[in-house]
Structure 1
Amino acid sequence: MTKCDSKVSLLFFGILAAYALLGLLILVPGLLAGASTLFLIAIVLLVVVIVLFALTIIFKALRRLFHH
Structure 2
Amino acid sequence: MKHLVLLYLASILAGYALTLVPTSAVVTPAIADVLALIGGLAMVVFAIALLVLGTKALLNKN
TM range (shorter): 0.5 to 0.7
What secondary structure sits across from 1:32 in the alignment? coil
What secondary structure sits across from 1:50 in the alignment? helix
| TM superposition shift of 1:45 | 0.6
1:13 to 4, 12, 24: 4
2:49 to 53, 57, 62: 57
Paired residue total: 57
| TM superposition shift of 1:12 | 4.2
Structure 2 residue runs of 5 or longer lacking an equivalent are none
TM-score (norm 2): 0.66
Write the letter of the residue equivalent to 2:7: L
Q: Is the 8 A contact 1:15 1:58 kept in 2?
A: no
Identity of aligned residues (%): 5
Q: Is the 8 A contact 1:14 1:57 kept in 2?
A: no
Q: Deviations over 1:11-63 (max 9, x none)?
A: 643331111122344x433x225342101211111011111111111000110
1:23 to 7, 14, 32: 14
Aligned to 1:40: 32
Structure 1 residue runs of 5 or longer lacking an equivalent are 1-7
